[in-house]
Amino acid sequence: MKVLMRERDLSDEYILFAQQIGADGFDIHNPDNVPGFREQGYPDREALDRLKKRVEAAGLGLYRVAPPQPLQYLLGEPGGEEEVENLRKTLQVFGQVGIPFMSMPIHLGNPGYRGGYTHAHRGGYTMHAFDVERMKKSLEEEPLEEKISLDDHWSRCVELYRRLVPVAENYDVKLITHPSDPPLPDTDVSPRRWAGLLDAVPSDHNGLLYCIGTRCESGVTIFEDIRYFGRKGKIFHTHFRNVRGTIPTAGGYEEVALDDGDMNMFKVLQTLREVGFDGGLQIDHLPHYTHDDAHQKVASGYAVGYVKALITALRA
């Protein structure tokens, strides 16, 4: 298994930092860090290839890239077809350059942000937390404007997958989908819709970005959930993080450091190995430690070292 980080700015200094703390590579979350996306809607192949080689020269890899959201397509507005064509071109470039995973940018929004707040933990480190009642109160005071119904969004998503999956198969790039976070039932990529996309457009190139934290937040038994999707071969990539509390049992949750939550992360790794997963473990949602810098290098160093130690123990 590979220990991955968010790309931040992909400067030489940040790549050196990732190399020094023992990370295996990066996932790119921000399309602005990919040459060509903002200029033409899809990556510049030569520039992306140079970026990938620069990362590889440090002994690291590029594993997942998130393209810009096809907002006009998802809303059924003019310009949507051009966005879909840009995603097709993106898959072609990723295949040519050797980017193995493309995140599906189908999330329109989540009312859960109305229930978010910052919570302090041991020693005062802080992380994001969520409370259902806080969200409900905010929505009662100021309801959200619905841009598109959940059913219409679902239909457009399924059609988008039907159009992109053959391209992904042709260029051997796997499409991965992250669930809504918070994982509420009435969201665009709710737990049910997230899993339903696998059946709606079946393919060995259509799978899950399995967010361990989000799945725990939804109240599932995490080990059985990993076995369920893992035995189907549908866990393509992961977000590796811990939480305390779940929406069904506590009406919310707190994101925490890897060693400070409800899950035994070593057992999580054992279960992933049990189902044959050998992919990326992207360190996600880092704690804010006192005196850390804007790139959260203290938090990154701690998390990467922690996960690498778990993997070493797993191999013992």
What domains lie within the chain, and their CATH numbers?
2-315 (3.20.20.150)
Q: Please give the pLDDT value at position 316.
A: 86
Structure tokens belonging to residue 178: 């992250």
Q: Please give the pLDDT value at position 160.
A: 98
Task: Return the amino acid letter for 6.
Answer: R
Asked whether the beta carbons of 174 and 205 are under 8 A apart, the reply is: yes
| Chain segment 1-47, per-residue pLDDT in tens | 999 999 999 999 999 999 999 999 999 999 999 999 999 999 999 99
Q: Please give the pLDDT value at position 259.
A: 97
The helix (H) or strand (E) run that includes residue 120 is strand 116-120
How do the pLDDT tens digits run along the chain, 316 residues long? 999 999 999 999 999 999 999 999 999 999 999 999 999 999 999 999 999 999 999 999 999 999 999 999 999 999 999 999 999 999 999 999 999 999 999 999 899 999 999 999 999 999 999 999 999 999 999 999 988 999 999 999 999 999 999 999 999 999 999 999 999 999 999 999 999 999 999 999 999 999 999 999 999 999 999 999 999 999 999 999 999 999 999 999 999 999 999 999 999 999 999 999 999 999 999 999 999 999 999 999 999 999 999 999 999 8
- The rounded distance, in Å, linking the Cα atoms of 243 and 123 is 17
**Which DSSP state fits 179?**
P
Mean of all residue pLDDT scores within the chain: 97
Q: Which of 280, 275, 249, 258 is nearest to 213 (CA)?
A: 258
- The rounded distance, in Å, linking the Cα atoms of 217 and 207 is 20
Q: Which of 177, 199, 276, 280 is nearest to 237 (CA)?
A: 280
Strands 242-244 and 252-256: what pairing? antiparallel
pTM confidence score: 0.97
Residue with tokens 């079946």: 202
Strand residue runs (E) in 110-233? 116-120, 126-131, 174-177, 206-211
